[in-house]
Amino acid sequence: MRTALYPGTFDPITNGHLDLIERALRLFDRLIVVVGTAREKDPMFNVGERIELIDAAVRELDGVEVTSFEGLLVDAVRRAGAVAIIRGLREVSDFEYEFQMALMNRRLAPEIETVFLMPNERYTYLDSTIVKEVALLGGNVEGLVPVAVFAALKQRSGRA
Catalytic residue among 2, 41, 79, 122: 41
Catalytic residue among 30, 50, 87, 128: 128
* 128 carries an active-site annotation: yes
The beta-strand segments (E) located in 1-157 are 3-8, 30-36, 64-69, 84-88, 113-117
Q: Please give the distance of CA 28 from its chain centroid, rounded to a whole number.
A: 16
* 41 carries an active-site annotation: yes
Task: Note whether 27 and 95 are within 8 A (CB).
Answer: no
* 93 carries an active-site annotation: no
Would strands 3-8 and 113-117 be described as parallel, antiparallel, or unpaired? Answer: unpaired
Catalytic residue among 23, 78, 90, 154: 90
* 156 carries an active-site annotation: no
User: What residues act catalytically?
Assistant: 17, 41, 90, 128
